Amino acid sequence: MGEKKLMRGNEAIAEAAIRAGCRNYFAYPITPQAELLQWMAENMSEQENGTFLQAESEIGAISMVYGAASTGERTMTSSSSPGISLKQEGISYIAGSELPAVIVNIMRGGPGLGNIQPAQGDYFQATKGGGHGDYRLIALAPSTVPEAAELTFEAFNLADKYRNPVIILADGMIGQMMEPVELPSPVDTSDFPSKPWATTGKNGRKSNTIRSFALGAEDLKSINQDLQEKYRKIKEAETRYEEIGVEDPDVLLVAFGTVARIARSTRRLAKEEGIDVGIFRPITLWPFPGDRLSELSRKVDTVFTVEMNAGQMVEDVRLSINSDINTPFYGEQGGVVPDPSRILEEVKKYV
């Protein structure tokens, strides 16, 4: 590991990407992720073969990612909710063509223009598809700035390993907050595995094609089956979560990202009142750690989900828990961040 620095979330994500060997970054300005773009503008040009390009649009940016990723180079784009909606066409093509790429969503309030406050309203979009067709993104949800850097670094490895787009799903709070970060040491880009599938000029080999197009029904079915098989492998090997006090809690609280961080304060407040609140924090939102949650749910009467949306992850929580225990939900929207004591009030209804 490298040195420790006080950094804003957006900057830590950008710097971690550079250290992971990302040399191609294409994006369009939007709040609250502007510092990420600005950091890249300043620092990417200092890298050998580094490309920073402010695209004409979000659609342009994700299409540039498609082109750069086709050559096998590590590539990233970032945006916030409305911009991520615009990128969905390209994301579907990237997933369909099995290209490695990293997409960062610093979520803000929606729907529509919404506002620039932190929110978690894009859970469905990130975990259930977002664009057209049957595909999945590996969705990573950091709850602190150091973790945002760590997961961004890891996202490039996962993307390369599975030839699959990875989305970092953070919110405006993580993007804007400053925390001490221990940055990873820069990788040696010459150590990356070879990518024989990439379009780098045929140069003596058989020519390569990057495409999501297959006119015949059986051909496209077979491509889809291969994708589903890959998703099963990812589910098996890459599901990640964090558990705090889940041995025998009165209530098990499920939360991701910023809310999981607030849940820790709720746990402390609850302890003062003699209530044991356990926390289960999915780190991969897809694949969702449903099997582990199902196991844990057998020890409790209540699995309580809290989100900064109207109830999105709670659907996966309820699908995972195959019993008739309580599965209440509490959510805040529009950029309102739930207060630890307010969460405790809700929790107490089930104790």
Partner 1 sequence: MSEKAVAENTGKMKKVFDKPETLNDQQFSYCPGCHHGVINRLIAEAIDELGIQDTTVGTAPVGCSVFMYKWFDIDVIQPAHGRVSAVATGAKRARPDLTVFAYQGDGDFASIGTNNSAHAANRGENITTFFINNTLYGMTGGEMAPTTLIGQKTTTSPQGRTAKDFGYPMKMSEMLAELDGPTYITRQAVYDVKRIDQAKAAIKKAFRFQMEDKGYSLIEFLSACPINWGMDPAEANERIREEVEEVYPLGDIIERS
68 contributes a contact to partner 1 by CB under 8 A? yes
**Paired tokens of 95:** 């997933």
Q: Which are the contacts of 167, defined by CB distance < 8 A and separation ≥ 6?
A: 102, 103, 104, 105, 126, 137, 138, 139, 140
Of 63, 297, 302, 327, the residue at the interface with partner 1 (CB under 8 A) is 63
What span, in angstroms and rounded, lies between the C-alpha atoms of 90 and 254? 32
133 contributes a contact to partner 1 by CB under 8 A? no
Of 2, 133, 185, 211, the residue at the interface with partner 1 (CB under 8 A) is 211
**Residue 72 is which amino acid?**
G
What span, in angstroms and rounded, lies between the C-alpha atoms of 341 and 346? 9
Site of tokens 């089956």: 225
Of 30, 34, 65, 306, the residue at the interface with partner 1 (CB under 8 A) is 65
The residues that bridge with 54 in the sheet, in sequence order, are 27
274 contributes a contact to partner 1 by CB under 8 A? no
What span, in angstroms and rounded, lies between the C-alpha atoms of 139 and 286? 5
Least distance from partner 1 to the Cβ atom of residue 86, Å: 11
What span, in angstroms and rounded, lies between the C-alpha atoms of 13 and 11? 5
What span, in angstroms and rounded, lies between the C-alpha atoms of 106 and 78? 8
**Residue of 208, 240, 236 lying closest to 98 (CA atoms):** 208
Q: Which of residues 77-116 bind partner 1 (CB under 8 A)?
A: 89-90, 93, 97
Asked whether the beta carbons of 153 and 16 are under 8 A apart, the reply is: yes
- Which of 198/336 has CB closer to partner 1? 198
In the DSSP assignment, the letter for residue 27 is E
- Which of 180/201 has CB closer to partner 1? 201
196 contributes a contact to partner 1 by CB under 8 A? no
Q: What are phi and psi of 67, to 5 degrees?
A: -65, -45
201 contributes a contact to partner 1 by CB under 8 A? yes
Of 7, 14, 26, 109, the residue at the interface with partner 1 (CB under 8 A) is 26
Of 16, 19, 24, 329, the residue at the interface with partner 1 (CB under 8 A) is 24
Of 9, 21, 32, 60, the residue at the interface with partner 1 (CB under 8 A) is 60
Least distance from partner 1 to the Cβ atom of residue 83, Å: 15
Least distance from partner 1 to the Cβ atom of residue 214, Å: 11
Stretch that binds partner 1, among 57-65, 238-246, 287-295, 315-323 (CB under 8 A): 57-65
Q: 3-class SS at 258?
A: helix
Pairing of strands 51-54, 277-282: unpaired
214 contributes a contact to partner 1 by CB under 8 A? no
Asked whether the beta carbons of 186 and 19 are under 8 A apart, the reply is: yes
Q: What angle do CA 238, 250, 265 make, to 5 degrees?
A: 70
Of 190, 194, 207, 323, the residue at the interface with partner 1 (CB under 8 A) is 207
204 contributes a contact to partner 1 by CB under 8 A? yes
- Which of 66/123 has CB closer to partner 1? 66
**Paired tokens of 31:** 């709040």
Stretch that binds partner 1, among 6-14, 149-157, 199-207, 343-351 (CB under 8 A): 199-207
Give residues in contact with partner 1 (CB under 8 A): 23-24, 26, 51, 53, 55-57, 59-61, 63-71, 73, 75, 89-90, 93, 97, 199-204, 207-213
